[in-house]
Every structure is written in C-alpha cells, then in structure tokens.
A = this chain, B = another copy of it.
Amino acid sequence: MVTSWETIKAIDDILHPQSIAVVGTSPDPVSPGYQYLRFLVDAGYRGDLYPVNPRGMSILGLPTYPELAEIPGAVDYVICCIRAELVLDLLQQCAQKKVKAVHLLTAKLSETGDEKARRLEKEIAKKAKELGIRLIGPNCMGIYCPGERIPFNHDLCMEPGTVGAIVQSGGLAGEIVRLAALRGVRFSKAVSYGNAADLNETDFLEYFLWDDETKVILLYIEGVRNGEKFFQTLRRATQIKPVIILKGGRSRAGIRSAASHTASVAGSMDAWQVLFRQTKAVQAQNLNELLDLSVAFYFLPAITGKRVGIVGGGGGKSILCSDQFEEAGLEVVPFPEEIVKLLESRKPGITRWLGNPVDASILASINLKSFDMLRYMANSPAFDLLSINTSEDSFYQGDLWIEFMEQEVKGALMVHRERLKPVIAVVGNPEIGHSAVDNWRWQALFRFREQLTNEGIPVFPSPGRAATAVSKLVDYYRYREKAGTSSVEK
C-alpha cells in the first residue's frame, strides 16, 4: 500500500529534469503551448528546452522540432499541450525517446463528465504504465521547482525555500505560490496534479515527507484516490513535518464543482473532520487561511505556549485584538509583576490604565516608546510570543505619522533580531482603489509590510487572521511535543 521507493525516485526525477520538450507549442500567444514555453523561457530553465511543433517554425527564439524523435539530445520530461485524442500516440513516441515522465496539461478528460473522455483517460493511464512512463495530470499545471528554474505560471518567484505544495487545482497552484511569495514564503517545489490518473496526492505527500528541502507541506485537495493510503501516509507525515490542508468541495455545490473540475469524489465532510482530528493535519478553512498558515509555519519556530503580549494599537484596536486573540484560543495575559513594578516606578498608578495589549496612545503619555515596552516583554518569561499591532490610523498625518510608525517598525525589527521571543506583526490591508494607491498612508503601509516581511517577521492583515494561524501552529507543536517528535529541525 505504501508509495514505493521507485515512485519517490520518479517524482524526484520529474522535479529535476535535465531536458524538457514542450509538445504542442505554437506561435499563437493564446495557445497553452505557447504560454507554457514562455513560462520556462522567462524563468530561465537551466536544462535543455525543446519546443515541438509540426510546422517547424521557431518560437520565442527557440528552434522547434516537428516531432520528439527529431530532437537531437535526450528528453527526460515532456509537457504535453496537445488534444486528448493525440495523447496515446504521443506516449508511444515518448517511449521510443526514453522519456521518463509526461505532464499532461491536456484536459477535457474525465472532468467533463463525458463517458468517452473518461474511458480515454483510463486508457492513457494504462498505456503509460505499460510503457513505464509516469504521468502528472491530466488537466493540471504540472511542476514548479525554483531551484531548477521551472515555473508553472508566469512571473513566479524563483527563489527556493522550504515549503512543498501539492495543489490539485492548476489555477490555485499558481495563485498560492504567487500570493504566498508576496508574504515572504518560499517554496522547495510545488505540484499541480489535476485528475491524478497516475501520480496522486499520496505519492506527492510521501515525496515531500522524504524530501530534505521541504520542511512544511501544503495541500489543496478536492478528492482523494485512495482514502486509507492517504490517511496512513498523512498520519505518519504530521509526526515529522507540519501538513496544512485546504479541502475544496465541502458543500453540496462545492462537491458538484469538484466533480467537474478534477473528476474528484469529494467525500463526506464528516469523514474529513475525523481525518483532521486523527492525523493532526492542520486544517485551513479557506485560501487566505492556507496562506496565513504557510506564513506562520514558514517563519515561526515551534512555539508551544499561548501567552501573547501585544504592543502598538490604539484603544479600540487593542480591545478588538484581545478579543480575537482570545477567541482563537490564545491568552492575552496581564502584565507580570516585574513589568508592573517597572512601570509603576516610572509613574505610580499607571498600570491601572496601561496593560496588555499596550495602547500606544497611553504609552506616549508616559514618554515610553513601543520599542521599550516590546523589549520589556521580550525579556519577560511571562510571554511566549509578541505581536506588533500597528496603528494604521492616527491623529497625526503625513510625516508625523510616518515617523511614528517607522519607530514602531524599527523597534519591532530590533527586538526580532535579538531572537528573545518570536515576533509577529499585524499590518492592515485595506481595499485600496486605483486613485488611492499613491496616497502617503497606503504607500507607507506597503513599505512597512515589506520591511517586516523581508526580515522574517510574519505579517498578517488582521488580528483575527494572525490569531487563528498562530493558535493552530501552537496546537500542532503541542501535539508534537506530547508525541515526543518535536526535535525535528525547523
């Protein structure tokens, strides 16, 4: 039942091909073959790249070949962008060329609900197996391996990192990498695997579990091919690496859509809830939560305490932040005695007014900077985690506010660099329209977000989203601690 060593090796080969042929390229920019070739050219794929096109013209400055057989060198990996009806024949040619694996961008197969198309997909899988060729797809975007400069969409970040992603949906695969990259997350590899006629979610999960470059595993999954095998692998996986799962197809309408998207049988949500409970996979409720969790697990160490110290918002913000952190299961604890004493020595009675979360406007009135408070809290054993709750709105405008905020951000960075406590930040993300983008306030927010992210502070757009992600992270590492498997490096 377990994914074989051969399969793990096959996936590793797929992710590191020495040469790629794109079959079904065309000079038409609207054609998938053109686009996929362009992704590879723009990203600067390291290996040999061969466009295949029957009419033999050059595309994007590369000479094309009328068929696989005419390519001078070896071909490890084929990206297939031709119609489904032509795939069986292509597989035959691949076998002759000793191609190891084929990625079928080709779609309109079982996901269409058409019986003929479904049978064709089965035949393709059978034939590939007979020929010893591994398949990714059909109906998917294939692989993203930044180390090899292989993208599966345009303009993707090509800096490698430690998150491995398994994404059934091709559109979401690109979007997850792109949006997570904006937030500083970097990937080891990602796979979009569509209808999973051959390699499936469990095979990729097993691969990422084995892969040393991957420390955190993300999944977006619509349906599972072999539930028992997936369950067993997942249970093993979470004891070694955090596995974050977004399950698509939870509602009646979602289940209908999943069938027509990747021919998935979505399964009952009750069964999935049992799976989450029993495997300790971390459940994301939606795309934003998947991104938040990837940010949290990518940047934060294995925190197992729930006591949060919060600095920086005004009064109303501080209250809402407390509410959301505590509702998510974290504890916004009162100041410990040593901080109470320290503050009272500056101004007797002040701690009747000033507490955790630290209201930045009160702080100003006793001539303390948020940085001072943050450091007191970083030095205290009373807190497991600190959160910068930036005050995005203020009495002051323009330079005055920017200067104040810059101090806040600088302070957070200084405490972060001392590595006394994990630090997270909440920087709001308003729905800015085109005519407001250049406004000094929003420009400053864009800057602060980037400064914090670049130095490795995880940034969340709201206290609620920060709290939910961190709380799930703490729960996961508590489980690992209890299970005695928490010594794995992060």
* Interface residue ranges, A against B (CB under 8 Å): 29-30, 32, 35, 108, 111-114, 153-155, 167-172, 174-175, 178-179, 182-183, 220, 222, 246, 248-254, 256-258, 260-262, 285-288, 313-320, 322-327, 331-334, 349, 352-357, 359, 361-362, 365, 391-397, 400, 427, 429-437, 441, 443, 446-447, 449-450, 453, 459, 461-464
Contacts and interface: CB of A to CB of B under 8 A. Distances in A.
B248 A393 contact: no
Nearest 9 interchain pairs by C-beta = A169-B316, A113-B352, A171-B314, A251-B326, A433-B450, A253-B332, A261-B315, A172-B316, A253-B322
A367 to B, nearest CB: 13
Contact of A254 (B167, B257, B326): B326
Contacts of A319: 169, 222, 248-249, 254, 257-258, 261
A393 B435 contact: no
Q: How many copies of this protein are present in the complex?
A: 2
Given A171-B314, A429-B431, A431-B182, A353 B254 contact: no
Nearest to A357: B257
Contacts of A318: 257, 261
28 contacts: A30-B396, A32-B395, A112-B349, A113-B349, A114-B353, A155-B397, A167-B316, A169-B319, A170-B316, A171-B314, A171-B317, A172-B393, A178-B393, A179-B430, A182-B430, A183-B431, A251-B323, A251-B325, A253-B357, A254-B322, A258-B319, A260-B355, A260-B359, A287-B320, A287-B462, A429-B431, A433-B449, A433-B450
Nearest to A334: B256
Given A175-B393, A254-B323, A319-B249, A353 B113 contact: yes
Contact of A352 (B114, B155, B248, B323): B114
Contact of A353 (B260, B357, B437): B260
A427 to B, nearest CB: 8
B443 A434 contact: yes
A299 to B, nearest CB: 13
Contacts of A461: 431
Contact of A250 (B114, B327, B453): B327
B155 A394 contact: no
Given A171-B391, A257-B355, A287-B462, 16 more contacts: A30-B400, A35-B397, A108-B365, A153-B393, A171-B393, A182-B433, A220-B316, A253-B323, A253-B333, A256-B322, A257-B318, A257-B359, A260-B352, A262-B315, A286-B324, A431-B459
A35 B357 CA distance: 26
Nearest to A401: B154
Contact of A429 (B111, B174, B325, B429): B429
Contacts of A400: 29-30
B437 A316 contact: no
Contact of A462 (B254, B288, B359): B288
Contacts of A251: 322-323, 325-327, 332
A325 B257 CA distance: 13
A395 to B, nearest CB: 5
Contacts of A174: 393
With a 10 A CB-CB cut-off, give which of A288, A319, A441 has the most chain B CB atoms.
A319
A449 to B, nearest CB: 5
Nearest to A181: B436
B320 A254 contact: yes
Contacts of A112: 349, 352-353
Contacts of A359: 257, 260-261
A206 to B, nearest CB: 23
Contacts of A356: 253
Nearest to A356: B253
A428 B162 CA distance: 26
B261 A395 contact: no
A253 B326 contact: yes
Nearest to A258: B319
Contacts of A352: 112-114, 260
Nearest to A435: B450
A362 B322 CA distance: 45
A127 to B, nearest CB: 24
A111 B361 CA distance: 13
A35 B391 contact: no
